[in-house]
Structure 1
Amino acid sequence: MMKITTALLFILLNNDCSTIPAAIGAKEETVYVCGSGNGKRYHLKEHCRGLNNCSAKAVKTTIEKAKKEGKTLCGWEK
């Protein structure tokens, strides 16, 4: 418990809230993909800068479905 609390405190102090689910062992289920159907990446945040070139609206999906479609994690989110 102390390890998790320390990790969360460190993350919050460094203002990087995007890593909180990973720090507590939760699996991030929801991801976003370009709605045009041509995208090759999935994104953890709806407003990821990697979606700037998407001409369609970002679509919410699951990470499992995105991976089954052959999509990989956006380079901006690594």
Structure 2
Amino acid sequence: MKTLILSALAFVLSGQVSTEVKTKEATVYICTGPKAKKYHATETCRGLNRCSGSIKQLSVSSAKSKGFTPCKICY
């Protein structure tokens, strides 16, 4: 009986964990300068060193929809 209850509990909890992972999207960083075209995996990527604007954090899908492509240094 204990095994059945523990198995059912594990099944329910595993479903909740996978749902949370699917809804969370990766965060990337972009430069808001006029010539910026790449998104970066980290805020400290050397591709952002010469950013003339500010560094902004957003989702991958949002960066792609704005026309940004992955940085060749950090991806």
* TM-score (norm. length: structure 1): 0.59
Aligned to 1:6: none
Secondary structure in 2 matching 1:65: helix
* Number of the residue aligned with 1:76: 73
Which 5+ residue runs of structure 2 have no aligned equivalent? 1-20
The aligned counterpart of 2:3 is none
CA distance in 1, matches of 2:54, 2:64: 19
C-alpha distance in 2 between matches for 1:46 and 1:74: 12
Structure 1: segments with no counterpart, 5+ residues: 1-24
- Mapping 1:25-64, distance limit 5 Å: 29-64=26-61
Sequence identity percentage: 41
Give 2:62's aligned residue. 65
Query: How many residues were matched structurally?
Result: 54
Q: CA RMSD in A?
A: 2.0
